[in-house]
Amino acid sequence: MAATVASSLQIMAARPCLSFSPGVVKAGAAILCSNPKTVLWPKLTNSCNISSLNPFRHGFRSSTVKFSKVVTKAMSESNENRPVSGLPIDLKGKRAFIAGVADDNGYGWAIAKSLAAAGAEILVGTWVPALNIFETSLRRGKFNESRLLPDGSLMEITKVYPLDAVFDNLDDVPEDIKTNKRYAGSSKWTVQEVAESVKQDFGSIDILVHSLANGPEVSKPLLETSRKGYLAALSASSYSYVSLLKHFLPLMNPGGSSISLTYIASERIIPGYGGGMSSAKAALESDTRVLAFEAGRKHKIRVNAISAGPLRSRAAKAIGFIDMMIEYSKANAPLQKELSADEVGNTAAFLASPLASAITGASHI
């Protein structure tokens, strides 16, 4: 999961979890432009201080990108009948709310699996327009293969809540969204309303995960980004985390943990990653440090971010050159391996566990 400066072309993509414009990926952590023509290898070379891309070019095939189903596998031991050695991750009796799960691919789902494998109860928040498809797929068993845990059982999601984290409360919702047919049949999906529903249903949680982002003008260079598009990216991708923690913090038990997903564009120039999204990720990481101080002092809650790498999710189809990015990362990363979603999930499980009881305010690369 670690990456050097040379491997700064890392991306994370997941299914939509927030409202968006056509052609824009709402990532579990980050989004890239869907037009590979806008990314020139000379620019990539210059931005990463790499003199040669020959090792990468040697291993990259320019054939049509093929996407295959990715089965994320949580690796945390959860079988109570097996002897445990070392320092196990034990989250039994803990409850997690994961904002930004809309299918069985992506980091949000992988984190849910790892937390479940460690014994945590799972609640998820799903972007309202994707809610019906997600719940139907769960009910019909389409996710059963990827729900499989190490002990042979299937991950159980106790409850799925409709959520649009762009809106703090009902007063923030414009009329065109209220009357949008994609929102018909759902209610209480603003951040404040979801937090109130979780409190009413379960009383408290121990783990809060922010796995969503959106940039309506992500395909535009920063110089061509409008004020509206720039602010929308920050609202959906960084302030949404502030809002979630603000409203869920009173529900969180002392000693709990909150985790968000960020991206290396917060500190490196990534050609093709526009629309203010790099600024949004930089804000998210800055907010992580401030929130860690405030939430730690007031509620004894730890706040961390995970900066992961490229993942072949379904939403990566919109990126257009996900295979290229993965090969680039493999060629330049220290471990020279393709990142799997369960590795990010297991990192989250560690950060949420008592083993990380003194770790807060950090972005983990």
Pairing of strands 95-99, 205-210: parallel
Q: Which helix (H) or strand (E) holds 285?
A: helix 277-299
What average pLDDT does this structure show over 315-328?
Answer: 62
Q: Residue 88 has what pLDDT?
A: 87
Rounded to whole angstroms, the Cα distance separating 10 from 3 reads: 8
Average pLDDT, the chain: 80
Residue type for 29, please?
A
Count of CB atoms situated within 10 Å of the CB of 178: 10
- Are 160 and 124 in contact by the 8 Å Cβ rule? The answer is yes
Q: Is residue 339 part of a domain?
A: yes
Q: Is residue 32 part of a domain?
A: no
Q: Residue 139 has what pLDDT?
A: 95
Q: Residue 322 has what pLDDT?
A: 65
Rounded to whole angstroms, the Cα distance separating 131 from 135 reads: 6
Domain count, the chain: 1
Active site residues: 238, 281
Rounded to whole angstroms, the Cα distance separating 174 from 265 reads: 31
Q: Residue 65 has what pLDDT?
A: 40
Choose the weakest-confidence range: 32-41, 240-249, 329-338. 32-41
pLDDT band at 314 (very low <50, low <70, confident <90, very high): low
Q: Is residue 11 part of a domain?
A: no
Q: Residue 78 has what pLDDT?
A: 45
- Using CB atoms within 10 Å of the CB of residue 253, give its burial: 0 to 12 exposed, 13 to 18 middle, 19+ buried: middle
Q: Which residues constitute the domain of residue 232?
A: 95-363
Q: Is residue 225 part of a domain?
A: yes
Choose the weakest-confidence range: 263-272, 312-321, 324-333. 312-321
Residue 39 has pLDDT above 90, yes or no: no
Rounded to whole angstroms, the Cα distance separating 88 from 100 reads: 27
What average pLDDT does this structure show over 169-191?
Answer: 95
Residue type for 214, please?
N
Q: Residue 316 has what pLDDT?
A: 47
pLDDT band at 115 (very low <50, low <70, confident <90, very high): very high
Tokens of 88: 């196990």
What average pLDDT does this structure show over 315-342?
Answer: 70
Phi, psi of 69 (to 5 degrees): -65, 130
What average pLDDT does this structure show over 301-315?
Answer: 79
Residue 5 has pLDDT above 80, yes or no: no
Rounded to whole angstroms, the Cα distance separating 94 from 205 reads: 7
Rounded to whole angstroms, the Cα distance separating 89 from 83 reads: 13
pLDDT band at 309 (very low <50, low <70, confident <90, very high): low
Q: Report the DSSP beta bridge partners of residue 124.
A: 98, 160
What average pLDDT does this structure show over 191-214?
Answer: 97
Instruction: State the virtual CA torsion across 182, 188, 189, 195 in degrees, nearest 10.
Output: -170
CATH code of residue 110: 3.40.50.720
Q: Is residue 270 part of a domain?
A: yes
Q: Residue 341 has what pLDDT?
A: 84
More confident residue, 208 or 79: 208
Choose the weakest-confidence range: 42-51, 135-144, 249-258, 267-276. 42-51
Q: Is residue 85 part of a domain?
A: no
Q: Is residue 42 part of a domain?
A: no
pTM: 0.76
Q: Is residue 79 part of a domain?
A: no
Residue 27 has pLDDT above 70, yes or no: no
Q: Residue 42 has what pLDDT?
A: 43
What average pLDDT does this structure show over 226-250?
Answer: 97
Q: Residue 181 has what pLDDT?
A: 95
